[in-house]
Amino acid sequence: MRSVAYRARLRPVIRLFPVSEDLPGGGVELSPDEIAALPARWASYWTPGEVAGLLAGVGTPWYVAGGWAVDLFLGTRTRAHGDIEIGVPAARYPEIRDRLPGYAFDAVGSGRIWADAGRDVLAAVHQTWVRRPDTGDYLLDVFREPHDGDTWICRRDGTIRLPYGDIVRRTDDGIPYLVPELVLLFKAKAARPKDQADFDATVPDLTTAQRDTLAELLARVHPGHRWLADL
């Protein structure tokens, strides 16, 4: 598996889908009880195979992100997951929504939820939870990512820009997933126990080039990160 060669593609950011610095009004702030109830509402989330089936033939590039991307890379399930996340170019998010009629799409940010969010809210936050209106269960977390046409832009460092063809891989049965070096870059910020578990499971299977790329990206985005010593 080839490494993400990002050095030649560092350019100024051109945002085609502007993100506001301030959260819009409205929405509902989740109470501690509502936050505690979220795992139950996510219990019936779609599997990667189900998501791939629902989105088969959609024109926009998309990929499984987060912990499930690690498992797709490794070819085995390494731990329990509480949800499933995919990334899509922000301006092409309507293609995903149009593929899933009958579901509600709630924007999420800073402990608030905007049910069936409008354009102003979508421009201010990047996460969208797909909800079954009849049960209130959440099934899929859609990350609407910055991009410049067919070029992906890293949310953590806007100078890191890569063609979607360089950052998406597919399993043998065709499920697209984000390359592990970028998955781990996003996980490095919080480095929760599950993120550490994903790092520990993934690093032995990375090529030398992938390790080098991850180390360079970590040094750029999170200087001095503890994972650098293990790479």
Identify the band that residue 18 occupies on the pLDDT scale cut at 50, 70 and 90: very low
Tens of pLDDT along 158-211? 999 999 999 999 999 999 999 999 999 999 999 999 999 999 999 999 999 999
- What is the C-alpha separation between 112 and 29, in angstroms, rounded? 4
The terminus-to-terminus CA distance of the chain in angstroms comes to 17
The pLDDT value recorded for residue 122 is 87
| H helix runs in 59-143, sequence order | 66-74, 93-99, 119-122
Tens of pLDDT along 89-124? 999 999 999 999 999 999 998 889 999 888 888 888
Residue whose C-alpha is closest to residue 25's, from 109, 121, 111, 144: 121
- What is the C-alpha separation between 84 and 77, in angstroms, rounded? 13
Identify any residues that bridge with 25 across adjacent strands, giving them in sequence order. Answer: none
Report DSSP letters for 201-221, one per residue: HHGGGS-HHHHHHHHHHHHHH
Residue 157 has pLDDT above 70, yes or no: yes
Residue 20 has pLDDT above 50, yes or no: no
Ordered structural domains, the chain, with CATH: 29-222 (3.30.460.40)
Side-chain-facing half-sphere of 39: CA atoms under 13 Å: 5
The pLDDT value recorded for residue 22 is 66
Residue whose C-alpha is closest to residue 133's, from 90, 172, 102, 91: 102
Q: When comparing pLDDT for 2 and 24, which is higher?
A: 24
Over residues 16-23, the mean pLDDT reads 45
Location of structure tokens 């969010």: 117
CA angle 41, 43, 44 (to 5 degrees): 100
- Cβ within 8 Å of residue 206, ≥6 positions away: 180, 181, 214
Residue 8 has pLDDT above 80, yes or no: no
pTM of the model: 0.89
- What is the C-alpha separation between 126 and 5, in angstroms, rounded? 25
- What is the C-alpha separation between 167 and 186, in angstroms, rounded? 13
Residue 16 has pLDDT above 90, yes or no: no
